Structure 1
Amino acid sequence: MDADDKPKKIVLDTDAEAVRLARDLVATARHGALAVYYHETGFPGASRVALATDMDGTTIILVSSLSGHTRPMLEDPRTSLLVGAMGKGDPLAHPRITLFTKARRIERDTDEGKRVRRRYLARQPKASLYADFGDFAFFRLEIQGSSMNGGFGKAYELTPGDFALKGDVDGVAAMEESAIAHMNEDHREAVDLYARVIGKAEAGSWRIAALDSEGMDLVAGDKTCRVWYPAPLENASELRGMLARMAAEAREEIGALQ
């Protein structure tokens, strides 16, 4: 068989639906398989890592210097991360995505380090037992490209731009911590509506773990849910009104069903 006759991978045009699916997979993943390159053996190696996301949607991990994948990642930041939806039946029928990334270590005592620590522990609270140990460090896995399989016959290739958040990213970042505390303490009913009605999630003790200019990440134990705003926030001052409107619309939807 000539090289030109070999079967070629069929890649579909990346549309808005594919982008949303890819971003959902990344935002809701609690763990993934991180692949690094071992120079001494010439082979790649994969390890399971727990995940969260930074304000711009970039995946963040927390690793120990004693972990086998940390030194290779520092020597060669080119990494890959596989995450995917879980479900019953054939595992190959469920969407998954491989992110081609470059790992960047985050300095602990910087504003970035403090923000990442807060967001990571909101998603992975049990990590508070060891997150501040001296041999642990946070890394951002900055996307260089990706390959997604949305199910049989649904292959896509996405660019870093497909994952870029729109709207007032920095403005929302500045008010995120106080907004989350307010919603989780004073508006639990609204948070529950976001998850169950808008996010179509199962019942649970839902709370907001993170929010940004395009949506929010909610958690209830081991369950996760990504809820998108109807439109990106062009100014952080729009956040309060957006959350109130979404809660009101969710209540109306419930009322219409009763």
Structure 2
Amino acid sequence: MSTNALRPARELLLKEYRGVLSTHSKSMPGYPFGSVVPYCLDAEGHPLILISRIAQHTHNLQQDAKCSLLVGEREAEDVQAVGRLTVMAEAHKLTDPAAIEAAAERYYRYFPDAANYHKAHDFDFWVLQPVRHRYIGGFGAIHWLDQVTLANAFAGTAEASMIAHMNSDHANAIAHYVALSDLPRTAPAELVGLDTEGMHLRIGQGVYWLPFPSTCNTPTQVREALVLLARADKWPDASAAGG
């Protein structure tokens, strides 16, 4: 297993927000069933999805929890020359009220429209617990990886507080991050997620992850990184070691 591939594999999972969920078909035994799902990462760094109880993939998961999530770099001209990650996992439906509340708070930041149909229809949160990963970083860069994800040290009150502060008081800094990164300016950007390695911005319906210059292990280090980036004239290269 290559430790050099751990960080790019994890960053791909962070950078994207939708993938192909493959389940074992209940109605067509022996055949895989693929469907597109949006996702964000939960407090443990695992993919979190919100799916309808009447959806085919939900029926499939209720029968067999084994599944995979395929994530590839968006808008790639040559899909075989860019990164893609297959997360082989076991899906677990959240049933604990506190866990559901935490999942909803996080998921709705990334996908605010989901709050409406979640309340109006029978939807449930499921977490994809990774078992193994297959990462391809381009031609010939093929790796089996076990532990790719990282728990989010700020998930919960600390993250929510920092996000609310930035969105309320520092919209200009967020706009500067967008400009530095050449992200779309089709709608005002909002900060929706923070982790030790970077931040998530939501612009319209799209979600974008931007890396910090180095790993931030405390809220103070996050604040220092955000101030540094707000004053930067170009986005610094991430210096944290892989893994």
Where on the TM-score scale, by shorter chain, does this alignment land: which range? 0.7 to 0.9
| Letter matched to residue 84 of structure 1 | G
Alpha-carbon distance in 1 for matches of 2:179, 2:130: 30
Residue number in structure 2 paired with 1:38: 25
Structure 1 segment 1-258 matched on structure 2, within 5 A: 13-15=2-4, 18-38=5-25, 41-107=29-95, 109-110=97-98, 112-133=99-120, 135-160=122-147, 162-165=148-151, 169-171=152-154, 173-197=156-180, 199-204=181-186, 205-248=188-231, 250=232, 252-253=233-234
CA apart distance, 1:27? 1.5
For 2:139 and 2:205, the matched residues in 1 are separated by 27
Tell me the amino acid that sits aligned with residue 186 of structure 1.
D
For residues 159 and 74 of structure 1, the distance between their equivalents in structure 2, rounded to whole angstroms, comes to: 25
1:147 to partner: Cα distance: 0.6
Q: Distance in 1 between matches of 2:104 and 2:177?
A: 25
Please list the CA deviations of residues 88-121 of structure 1 after superposition, one character each: whole Å capped at 9, or x if unmatched: 53332232111011111112631x2112112212
Is this contact kept in 1: 2:16–2:74, CA < 8 A?
A: no
Q: Please identify runs of 4+ aligned residues in structure 1 that moved more than 6 A.
A: none
Work out whether residues 20 and 71 of structure 2, in 8 Å CA contact, stay in contact via their aligned partners in 1.
yes
Q: Residues of 1 paired with 2:76 and 2:215: CA distance?
A: 33
Question: Bigger CA drift: 223-232 or 133-142?
Answer: 223-232
Q: Hey, what's the Cα distance between the residues in 1 that align with 2:78 and 2:217?
A: 41
Q: Deviations over 1:22-74 (max 9, x none)?
A: 22221132321111113561222111112122133211100111001112212
Specify the SS of the correspondent of 2:215.
coil
| 2:196 aligned counterpart, secondary structure | coil
TM-score, scaled relative to structure 2: 0.85
Structure 1 stretches lacking a partner, 5+ long: 1-11
Conserved? CA contact 1:14–1:156, under 8 Å: no
Segment of structure 1 superposing worse, 224-233 or 50-59: 224-233
TM-score by length of 1: 0.80
Q: CA deviation at 1:196?
A: 3.3
After TM superposition, give the deviation of residue 149 of structure 1 in Å. Answer: 1.6
- Which position in structure 1 is the counterpart of 2:238? none
* Amino acid in structure 2 at the alignment position of 1:13: S
CA distance in 1, matches of 2:213, 2:207: 20
Number of corresponding residues:
233
Contact 1:81–1:100 (8 Å) recurs in 2: yes
Q: Deviations over 1:216-240 (max 9, x none)?
A: 1112124332122233333334433
Distance 2:65 2:221 in 1: 38
Query: What residue identity is the alignment partner of 1:223?
Result: G
3-state SS of 1:231 partner: coil
Distance in 1, Cα, partners of 2:49 & 2:16:
12
Structure with higher helix content: 1
8 Å CA contact 1:84, 1:95 repeated in 2? yes
Distance 1:172 1:76, change over 3 A: closer
Tell which structure's C-alpha radius of gyration is larger: 1
Distance in 2 (CA, whole Å) between partners of 1:154 and 1:19 is 12
Q: Name the amino acid aligned to 1:230.
A: P
User: Taking every aligned residue pair, what percent have the same amino acid on both sides?
Assistant: 29
